[in-house]
């Protein structure tokens, strides 16, 4: 692949049919990091055509499971070989720290290995007892077909891999469309799949904007499944666009994630230190541009002043800068638009009565930086509490009773993830059981496992990634009923 030839169809790297290009910016200083092809509907149709041909007439869907798994494992090995290069590329493209870039490569490697192991471990189908020795009945799983995979800018490599690894494990072909803001590691991943030996036409990539590329994929009659990760607004458009062709739709959307802290979790100095530390981590990792960011701190009233004072003190000390520079703990926001959005949410919160305890400003200098911000005295009626900011902004609300804590934590149209901090194990289980969120962390925040499902309740989406359900998304289920001793049924007298 040379610069600007970032569209991959039928095994060939190409420029956009129109010749259009787009500059990808380094969010740390707004300089040009790369120039990529700006695909459009024609490029999208070509990519879908290649994926369709590879599915309908190619060998991949019928390739033995062991060979498909071996390809995933080779890809995982190549990711580890190129860990430093790809981690740095992700850091520069998305603005995250280099260490986060490396962690992303490791998580993605684990996901490829997990799905390889999962398909290898499966049997050849589920035999059903049809009540007669003359009937052999089995339920089998087959690939869905051509999958369109649309991803956001905050975890470009990771989100693409959570879709690509299971799609390939199940025997599908695909077209992936990364965010136009951060396409570079998806290009790198496709290069590794090619190097690992994936047949031409199985993996296709179109770099370009949501509309027309993503919109065309969602509406395309030759696409069988669309798996989308991104914001609620685009997700609803995708669902609408997919309706006419009744394709399968999986949506991983936003979150407004509560982090509930009971005073008993902070009864010791060590407990207090851990809960404060993890509240910072929950809210400010990748400058808060995380779908599962713990952006709503819901703390027991008796603990509030001590907790927020310490939180604000530590937030002020967070070192922000270019993600790849040594010692940097938080990178920039991804774009000027994201910076403006963050600023406007903080302004609206202050106008509605929130109290600024840390941050609330853009530092001097180039790039899209914003200081980690703590807003105290927030309440559930404020926009900043209800809507996803996707920036380094932590709101603080308080509760007096366990019921009140649960009510507040569930008071969101989303339902992606939430945390609860308590030393009372009974309370931990009770609260976890009542939280209407797809992932609940008890005395922790953020970890996920490739073998455990990821996804949301409510407007956080439809379907699940990772775990056995993450593979099932990419499959059709077929019941094969075989009569070993066929006889006339004589329903009609003849
Ligand atoms: P976005 O919705 O703006 O864009 C996501 C992708 O959709 C991009 O590739 C974009 O080009 C494409 N797109 C835009 N309009 C489209 C359309 N009409 N049809 C088809 N595709 C279209 O989201 P973003 O700003 O890139 O990412 C941030 C959002 O992603 C946040 O809301 C975040 O919570 C969410 N997210 C969710 C998860 C999760 O696992 N649930 C993970 C990461 C990010």
pLDDT digits (tens, 9 = 90+) for 185-228: 999 999 999 999 999 999 999 999 999 999 999 999 999 999 99
Q: What separation in angstroms does the CA of 420 have from each of 120, 180, 299, 434, 440?
A: 36, 36, 10, 11, 8
Task: Work out the burial of residue 135: count CB atoms within 10 Å of its CB; fewer than 13 is exposed, 13-18 middle, 19 or more buried.
Answer: middle
Binding site membership of 215 for ligand 1 (Cβ less than 6 Å): yes
Residue pair 438/455 in contact by the 8 Å Cβ criterion = yes
Instruction: Please name the residue that has the structure tokens 């879908």.
Output: 48
Cα–Cα distance, 9 to 2 (Å, whole number): 15
CA of 430 to the centre of ligand 1 (A): 33
Question: Relative to the CA of 215, which ligand 1 atom is closest?
Answer: 19
Q: Whose Cα sits closest to atom 20 in ligand 1?
A: 214
Binding site membership of 254 for ligand 1 (Cβ less than 6 Å): yes
Q: Whose Cα sits closest to atom 39 in ligand 1?
A: 252
Q: Whose Cα sits closest to atom 40 in ligand 1?
A: 252
Q: Catalytic residue at 99?
A: no
Query: pLDDT 10s per residue in the chain (494 long)?
Result: 456 899 999 999 999 999 999 999 999 999 999 999 999 999 999 999 999 999 999 999 999 999 999 999 999 999 999 999 999 999 999 999 999 999 999 999 999 999 999 999 898 899 999 999 999 999 999 999 999 999 999 999 999 999 999 999 999 999 999 999 999 999 999 999 999 999 999 999 999 999 999 999 999 999 999 999 999 999 999 999 999 999 999 999 999 999 999 999 999 999 999 999 999 999 999 999 999 999 999 999 999 999 999 999 999 999 999 999 999 999 999 999 999 999 999 999 999 999 999 999 999 999 999 999 999 999 999 999 999 999 999 999 999 999 999 999 999 999 999 999 999 999 999 999 999 999 999 999 999 999 999 999 999 999 999 999 999 999 999 999 999 999 999 999 87
Question: Relative to the CA of 338, which ligand 1 atom is closest?
Answer: 25
Task: Work out the burial of residue 257: count CB atoms within 10 Å of its CB; fewer than 13 is exposed, 13-18 middle, 19 or more buried.
Answer: buried
Q: How many CB atoms lie within 10 A of CB 148?
A: 32
Would you put residue 5 in left (φ > 0), alpha (ψ -120 to 50) or beta?
beta
Q: What are phi and psi of 170, to 5 degrees?
A: -80, -10
Q: What pLDDT shows up at residue 1?
A: 45
Best of 90, 176, 230 for a ligand 1 pocket test (most atoms within 8 Å of beta carbon): 230
Q: Whose Cα sits closest to atom 14 in ligand 1?
A: 210
CA of 287 to the centre of ligand 1 (A): 17
Question: Relative to the CA of 237, which ligand 1 atom is closest?
Answer: 18
Question: Relative to the CA of 241, which ligand 1 atom is closest?
Answer: 19
Q: What are phi and psi of 359, to 5 degrees?
A: 70, -135
Residue pair 475/144 in contact by the 8 Å Cβ criterion = yes
CA of 388 to the centre of ligand 1 (A): 13
Binding site membership of 214 for ligand 1 (Cβ less than 6 Å): yes
CA of 236 to the centre of ligand 1 (A): 11
pTM: 0.97
Binding site membership of 179 for ligand 1 (Cβ less than 6 Å): yes
CA of 182 to the centre of ligand 1 (A): 12
Residue pair 349/342 in contact by the 8 Å Cβ criterion = no
Cα–Cα distance, 193 to 12 (Å, whole number): 13
Cα–Cα distance, 419 to 176 (Å, whole number): 32
Residues 6+ positions from 77 with CB-CB distance below 8 Å: none
Q: Whose Cα sits closest to atom 32 in ligand 1?
A: 231
Binding site membership of 162 for ligand 1 (Cβ less than 6 Å): no
> What is the CA angle 448-285-165, rounded to 5?
40
Binding site membership of 153 for ligand 1 (Cβ less than 6 Å): yes
Number of residues in the chain: 494
Question: Relative to the CA of 390, which ligand 1 atom is closest?
Answer: 31
Hey, which residues does 260 pair with through a beta bridge? 298, 420
Cα–Cα distance, 409 to 436 (Å, whole number): 8
Residue pair 163/147 in contact by the 8 Å Cβ criterion = yes
Best of 153, 216, 231 for a ligand 1 pocket test (most atoms within 8 Å of beta carbon): 231
Hey, which residues does 205 pair with through a beta bridge? 8, 176
Q: What pLDDT shows up at residue 233?
A: 97
Binding site membership of 234 for ligand 1 (Cβ less than 6 Å): yes
Cα–Cα distance, 230 to 133 (Å, whole number): 50
Residue pair 424/262 in contact by the 8 Å Cβ criterion = yes
CA of 117 to the centre of ligand 1 (A): 29
Cα–Cα distance, 246 to 387 (Å, whole number): 30
Question: Relative to the CA of 291, which ligand 1 atom is closest?
Answer: 34
CA of 459 to the centre of ligand 1 (A): 13
Q: Whose Cα sits closest to atom 26 in ligand 1?
A: 152
Cα–Cα distance, 444 to 139 (Å, whole number): 40
Which residue is catalytic, options 90, 100, 180, 252? 252
What pLDDT, in 10s, does the model give residues 58-78? 999 999 999 999 999 999 999
Question: Relative to the CA of 180, which ligand 1 atom is closest?
Answer: 11
Q: Whose Cα sits closest to atom 41 in ligand 1?
A: 252
Binding site membership of 231 for ligand 1 (Cβ less than 6 Å): yes
């Amino acid at each position: 692949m040379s610069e600007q030839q970032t569209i991959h169809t039928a095994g060939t790297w190409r420029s956009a049919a129109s010749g259009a290009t787009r500059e990808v910016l380094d969010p740390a200083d707004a300089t040009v990091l790369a120039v990529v092809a700006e695909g459009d509907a024609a490029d999208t149709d070509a990519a879908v055509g290649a994926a369709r041909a590879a599915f309908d007439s190619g060998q991949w869907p019928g390739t033995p499971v062991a060979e498909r798994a071996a390809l995933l494992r080779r890809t995982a090995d190549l990711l580890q070989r190129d860990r430093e290069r790809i981690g740095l590329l992700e850091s520069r493209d998305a603005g995250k720290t280099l260490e986060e870039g490396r962690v992303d490569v490791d998580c993605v490697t684990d996901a490829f290995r997990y799905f390889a192991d999962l398909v290898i471990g499966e049997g050849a189908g589920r035999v059903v007892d049809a009540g007669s020795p003359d009937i052999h009945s089995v339920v089998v799983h087959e690939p869905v077909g051509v999958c369109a995979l649309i991803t956001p800018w905050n975890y470009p490599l990771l989100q693409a891999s959570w879709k690509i690894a299971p799609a390939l494990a199940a025997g599908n072909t695909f077209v992936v469309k990364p965010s136009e803001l951060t396409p570079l590691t998806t290009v790198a991943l496709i290069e590794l799949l090619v190097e690992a030996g994936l047949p031409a036409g199985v993996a296709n990539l179109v770099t370009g904007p949501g509309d027309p590329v993503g919109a065309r994929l969602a509406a395309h009659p030759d696409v069988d499944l669309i798996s989308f990760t991104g914001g609620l607004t685009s997700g609803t458009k995708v669902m609408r666009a997919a309706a006419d062709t009744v394709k399968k739709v999986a949506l991983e959307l936003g979150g407004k994630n509560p982090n509930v802290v009971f005073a008993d979790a902070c009864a010791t100095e060590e407990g207090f230190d851990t809960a404060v530390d993890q509240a910072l981590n929950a809210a400010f990792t990748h400058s808060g541009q995380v779908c599962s960011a713990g952006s709503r701190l819901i703390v027991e009233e008796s603990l509030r002043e001590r907790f927020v004072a310490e939180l604000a003190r530590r937030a002020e000390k967070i070192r922000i800068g270019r993600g790849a520079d040594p010692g940097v703990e938080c990178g920039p926001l991804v774009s000027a638009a994201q910076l403006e959005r963050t600023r406007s949410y903080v302004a609206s919160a202050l106008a509605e009565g929130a109290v600024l305890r840390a941050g609330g400003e853009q530092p001097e200098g180039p790039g899209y930086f914003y200081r980690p911000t703590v807003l105290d005295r927030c309440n559930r009626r404020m926009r900043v509490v209800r809507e996803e900011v996707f920036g380094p902004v932590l709101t603080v609300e308080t509760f007096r009773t366990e019921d009140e804590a649960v009510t507040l934590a569930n008071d969101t149209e989303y339902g992606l993830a939430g945390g609860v901090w308590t030393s009372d194990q009974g309370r931990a289980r009770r609260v976890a059981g009542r939280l209407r969120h797809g992932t609940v962390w008890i005395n922790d925040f953020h970890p996920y496992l490739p073998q455990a499902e990821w996804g949301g309740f409510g407007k956080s989406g439809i379907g699940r990634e990772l775990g056995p359900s993450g593979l099932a998304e990419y499959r059709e289920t077929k019941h094969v009923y075989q009569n070993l001793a066929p006889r006339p049924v004589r329903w009609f007298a003849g």
